[in-house]
Amino acid sequence: MSDHEILPNRGCAPPRLSTLAVHAGEERLKPGNAITDAIFCTATYTFPDTQAVLDFVEQEEQTREEYGRYGNPTEKVAERKLAALEGGESAVLFATGMAAVTGLLLAKLKAGDEIILFNECYHRTRQFCREHLTKFGIRTHEIPACDYDRMEAAIGPSTKLLVSESPTNPHLSVVDLERFAELGRRHGVETLIDATLGTPYNVRPLETGVDYVLHSCTKYLAGHNDMLAGVVIGSEEKMAEVRELRGILGAINSPHNFYLLLRGLKTFELRMQRHNENGQALAEFLHAHPRVEKVFYPGLPSHPYHEIARRTMKGFGGLLTFQIKGADWRRTADVVDRVRIPRIGPSLGGVESIIEQPSLMSYHSYTQEQREAVGIFDNMIRVSCGIENPEDLVADFAQALDS
Q: Is 384 in the site for ligand PLP (CB under 6 A)?
A: no
H-helix or E-strand spanning residue 101: helix 97-108
Strands (E), 171-240: 190-194, 212-216, 230-234
- Piece of the chain touching ligand PLP by CB under 6 A; list 131-139, 216-224, 302-310, 383-391: 216-224
- Candidates 164, 166, 216, 276: give the one binding ligand PLP (CB under 6 A): 216
Q: Which of 76, 80, 171, 219 touches ligand PLP by CB under 6 A?
A: 219
Cβ atoms of 82 and 232 closer than 8 Å: no
Does residue 96 interact with ligand PLP by CB under 6 A? yes
253 vs 278, which CB is nearer to ligand PLP? 253
The answer for residues whose C-beta is within 8 angstroms of residue 288's C-beta and 6 or more apart is none
The C-alpha atoms of residue 293 and residue 326 are separated, in whole angstroms, by 8
Q: Are 223 and 235 in contact (CB under 8 A)?
A: no
State in angstroms the smallest separation of the CB of 258 from ligand PLP: 15
User: Nearest CA to 313 among 296, 302, 299?
Assistant: 299
Active-site residue, 67 included:
no
Tally helices (H) and strands (E) across the chain.
15, 12
Q: Which of 223, 230, 255, 317 binds ligand PLP (CB under 6 A)?
A: 230
- Does residue 356 bind ligand PLP (CB under 6 A)? no
Find the binder of ligand PLP among 15, 71, 73, 97 (CB under 6 A): 97
Whole-number minimum distance, CB 165 to ligand PLP, in Å? 5
Active-site option among 76, 108, 219, 271: 219
Give the DSSP H/E element, type plus range, for residue 105.
helix 97-108
169: contact with ligand PLP by CB under 6 A: yes
CB nearer to ligand PLP: pick between 196 and 353: 196
- Residue 175 makes contact with ligand PLP by CB under 6 A: no
Strands (E), 327-379: 343-344, 354-356
165 is a site residue for ligand PLP (CB under 6 A): yes
Choose one: 1-9, 66-74, 191-199, 300-308; the region binding ligand PLP (CB under 6 A).
191-199
Q: Please, which residue, 212 or 285, has the CB nearer to ligand PLP?
A: 212
Least separation in angstroms between residue 15's CB and ligand PLP is: 28
Site residues (CB under 6 A) for ligand PLP, limited to 116-135: 122
Check if 219 is active-site: yes
- Judge whether 30 counts as a catalytic residue: no
Q: In this structure, how many other beta carbons lie within 10 angstroms of the beta carbon of residue 293? A: 14
Q: Which stretch binds ligand PLP (CB under 6 A): 26-34, 59-67, 95-103, 241-249?
A: 95-103
Known active-site residue 76: no
257 binds ligand PLP (CB under 6 A): no
Per the CB < 8 A criterion, the answer to whether 190 and 117 are in contact is: no
The verdict on 396 binding ligand PLP (CB under 6 A) reads no
Strands (E), 244-398: 292-296, 319-324, 343-344, 354-356, 380-384
Count of residues that bind ligand PLP according to CB under 6 A = 14
Point out which residues pair with 382 in neighbouring strands: 321, 356
> How far lies 307's CA from each of 114, 233, 296, 381, in Å?
32, 27, 14, 24
What strands lie across the sheet with 212-216, from one edge to the other? 90-94, 230-234, 212-216, 190-194, 159-165, 114-118, 139-143
Among 93, 98, 138, 232, the residue binding ligand PLP under the rule CB under 6 A is: 98
What residue type is 280 in one-letter code?
Answer: Q
**Per annotation, catalytic residue among 113, 194, 211, 378:** 194
Which residues are near ligand PLP by CB under 6 A?
Answer: 96-98, 122, 165, 169, 194, 196-197, 216, 218-219, 228, 230
Known catalytic residues are: 69, 122, 194, 219
